[in-house]
Structure 1
């Protein structure tokens, strides 16, 4: 599966700062020191309703991570999956009387278009669950052989007790996990499971649903969590730098994925930092496909909204914050974009080297994009009120906003 084209990232004078970011597993900030090659895995879409503003906010956060690392002159190995086979996709296709593969391909293509328009840097490896199945099956077989998995009526389950570190990603107690498991695709009430929290690794073939050759597992399709584990281990290995996604993935998805990988390899940890973006609401409720309260990037683009303004609307909120999309949010972003473009259109302006360092410092401090925007706002206001004599300043500002915030002025 191919990703989308990369936009150029201008080089800035000097060198950026190492990233300090909030780690869900420890509950506090950690300094991520990747070495010369930074490794990041971000969980991708289930392609049946893309791309809404909640998606965009999540991928914007991890785009900023990449931009901070690039500014420190590191290389990046970025991997993202597409869950192109899963119950919600099949349910949507059945509801609309559409072939599930056509639905997945169309929504994935739309997602690529939106990511390109928003100037999100693409992953080096963009992998669909279906294409990963040949690598998933041997992992499930290994878990069975080691006793970390068991069969229940033809389905294969992972035993969470096989990983002594289970629970350390989310930090939740058993009852909270059980409630979230029921809400987020698990089946804690299924009779016969060793532990109600045990997640499915391989679903035996169901009549009327697609299935694949699972070798000794029989025909079927993979569970959600093992999909990402197989892809991450294949392209990044254990101990990669950042596991990313929305805050609703901390449990069960990232918790279970970490345990799968740790049980498979005997190594710890799966990822050095677990980083989660907040949720975006609309009309008082979290944007979700089930509720249907979604604002789509493609709809905004078709209405003539500049993608740079959409991106600024995301950057105006700290990535870990839960926030609400409103017309005011977008109007403020449109106005900010106009001010910035007017400011950099002049032939000279106030000196901008301090601004570069302010933006660097803000982003290195847990991706504090609102503080970075405020720094650019101050420069633009000074440009408007008093101007300056530095002929290179507008270009420096424009390149800084492009390189570090992904906004083309």
Structure 2
């Protein structure tokens, strides 16, 4: 298996620290609002990767945090007239509700920054003792230049970073820092209503970057296999995580850094973000469209590629899912008929080849698009067999199990996908279908067409197959 490592900017063979096990940390949301489609992209991308690793037999410990204290949360809590803790509870619940709708598996652990304060303080004290950090008027800063590899992950020159940083900080903060590029590990309480904890440097709260370093190392170890997040986190967040963690432990922090591409909107493909006010929340969009469509749309694009969010692209994803739904329903119909089975060498050979192509594609840095192409190429061969008088039931059973497993990697709940939406009028529909069959046998085409139209008005689709009449709801 090959994984593209952002740190080295090339694909590398995946060798986990412990054979058969994977330690994986993915940066979670800052819980001050509902997640937007861009946030969901990261959660979906790494859930898909996790699912494939598990499909390949790995035992994955997947940790994804909640940032439940920072400036945005303090400001939003003030605006709503509630505490930061109340705000966090509200939007953690919303996050879990939305990600459940998208069939994102719960993390093995969802640590919260506010539950790690003692560990954060101890981590910072160690950095101060080692000379990597210093206190200034109740704040604590990290000496970025002291870490020789600073800028390596994001491929940036430290002198240029220093120049840029000097243009973006105010005079008061600049006077507290030894160097403009130094970043905060601990922030002194500035107002009495700000959430704060006691520390050796006075009341305050942790900086954003230190939170993830602590949660990752506390729950996964000083070196972990995979660390993931959006491309926008490469700098400064992940760059700072490396500097903090490796300075403290003296060990490599992460073996494989993975970053997903942005979600863009509009003809100009502008990045979706809250700051640009061009975002769509998952909470809202799943009220309008099937969450499985949104999930499949995002999971079916390679994680490092940019995604353009549009109605047209969602509609295309819906059509593909409908195609899968139809073939699964047709499989059930033929596997349950009473006609004898007949071996199909074409189906069996194609299925073996597809299994090999699927794994080869996904082993190549999780190339979901090539993996899906392999499945799409198999469908016409399966459909041809489904329309034969005698089908290969053993091969089709194998295909159904394989397709179910493949779709589950993409987060598609096959049971929900093929559900017939049974209703109180099922008996009436069955009676109408039977009456239409009888009209067709009697060659009463006018009555047959009349019943078909009546069923269509009820939202029922009729399929005439060599093995009999089938019906499904729209």
Q: TM-score of the superposition, structure 1-length normalised?
A: 0.88
**Larger Rg over CA atoms:** 2
What is the CA–CA distance in structure 2 between the aligned matches of 1:133 and 1:179, rounded to whole Å?
32
Q: Which residue of structure 2 aligns with residue 392 of structure 1? A: 397
CA contact (8 A) 2:296 2:411 kept: no
CA contact (8 A) 1:346 1:394 kept: no
Q: Is 1:334 the counterpart of 2:333 in the alignment?
A: no
Question: Which residue among 213, 217, 224 is the counterpart of 2:208?
Answer: 224
Give the gaps of 5 or more residues in structure 2: 336-346, 415-474
CA contact (8 A) 2:22 2:61 kept: yes
CA contact (8 A) 2:293 2:317 kept: yes
- Aligned-pair distance for 1:320? 0.7
- Aligned-pair distance for 1:223? 0.5
Q: Which residue of structure 2 aligns with residue 204 of structure 1? A: 188
What is the CA–CA distance in structure 2 between the aligned matches of 1:301 and 1:137, rounded to whole Å?
40
Q: Secondary structure at the match of 1:57?
A: helix
Q: Which residue of structure 1 aligns with residue 378 of structure 2? A: 379
Instruction: Note closer, same or farther for the CA distance 1:187–1:125 as it changes in structure 2 (3 Å cut).
Output: farther
What is the CA–CA distance in structure 2 between the aligned matches of 1:181 and 1:67, rounded to whole Å?
39
Q: Which residue of structure 2 aligns with residue 298 of structure 1? A: 283
1:52-86, Cα deviation, whole Å (9 max, x unpaired): 21112111221122122212322111111111001
Q: Which residue of structure 2 aligns with residue 10 of structure 1? A: none
Q: Which residue of structure 2 aligns with residue 363 of structure 1? A: 362
What is the CA–CA distance in structure 2 between the aligned matches of 1:254 and 1:182, rounded to whole Å?
20
- Aligned-pair distance for 1:397? 3.6
Q: Which residue of structure 1 aligns with residue 447 of structure 2? A: none
Q: Map 1:64-79; keep pairs closer than 5 Å.
A: 64-79=48-63
Question: Which residue among 261, 269, 279 is the counterpart of 2:245?
Answer: 261
Q: Is 1:114 the counterpart of 2:98 in the alignment?
A: yes
Which stretch of the first structure deviates more once superposed, 137-146 or 397-406? 397-406
1:290-323, Cα deviation, whole Å (9 max, x unpaired): 12211222222222x2222111110232211122
Give the gaps of 5 or more residues in structure 1: 1-17
Q: Which residue of structure 2 aligns with residue 270 of structure 1? A: 253
1:188-239, Cα deviation, whole Å (9 max, x unpaired): 972342221111000011212110122x122100001110111111111122
What is the CA–CA distance in structure 1 between the aligned matches of 2:166 and 2:383, rounded to whole Å?
55
Question: Which has the higher relative contact order, 1 or 2, with Cα contacts under 8 A spaced 6 or more apart?
Answer: 1
What is the CA–CA distance in structure 2 between the aligned matches of 1:159 and 1:254, rounded to whole Å?
16
Instruction: Note closer, same or farther for the CA distance 1:114–1:327 as it changes in structure 2 (3 Å cut).
Output: same
Q: TM-score of the superposition, structure 2-length normalised?
A: 0.77
CA contact (8 A) 1:51 1:298 kept: yes
Instruction: Note closer, same or farther for the CA distance 1:182–1:234 as it changes in structure 2 (3 Å cut).
Output: farther
Which stretch of the first structure deviates more once superposed, 191-200 or 331-340? 191-200
Q: Secondary structure at the match of 1:150?
A: strand
What is the CA–CA distance in structure 1 between the aligned matches of 2:407 and 2:233, rounded to whole Å?
29
Q: Which residue of structure 1 aligns with residue 263 of structure 2? A: 280
Q: Secondary structure at the match of 2:135?
A: strand
What is the CA–CA distance in structure 2 between the aligned matches of 1:178 and 1:204, rounded to whole Å?
23
What is the CA–CA distance in structure 2 between the aligned matches of 1:180 and 1:342, rounded to whole Å?
55
- Aligned-pair distance for 1:27? 0.7
Which stretch of the first structure deviates more once superposed, 292-301 or 34-43? 292-301
What is the CA–CA distance in structure 2 between the aligned matches of 1:345 and 1:195, rounded to whole Å?
65
1:156-210, Cα deviation, whole Å (9 max, x unpaired): 0011133222222111123653587689x97797234222111100001121211
Which stretch of the first structure deviates more once superposed, 127-136 or 187-196? 187-196
What is the CA–CA distance in structure 2 between the aligned matches of 1:182 and 1:127, rounded to whole Å?
34
Aligned length, in residue pairs: 387
CA contact (8 A) 2:217 2:223 kept: no
Q: Which residue of structure 1 aligns with residue 330 of structure 2? A: 346
Which stretch of the first structure deviates more once superposed, 55-64 or 130-139? 55-64
| Cα root mean square deviation, aligned | 2.3
Q: Secondary structure at the match of 2:111?
A: strand
Structure with more of its chain in helix, by fraction: 2
- Aligned-pair distance for 1:87? 0.8
- Aligned-pair distance for 1:91? 2.1
Q: Secondary structure at the match of 2:69?
A: coil
Q: Which residue of structure 1 aligns with residue 411 of structure 2? A: 406
Q: Map 1:3-14; keep pairs closer than 5 Å.
A: none
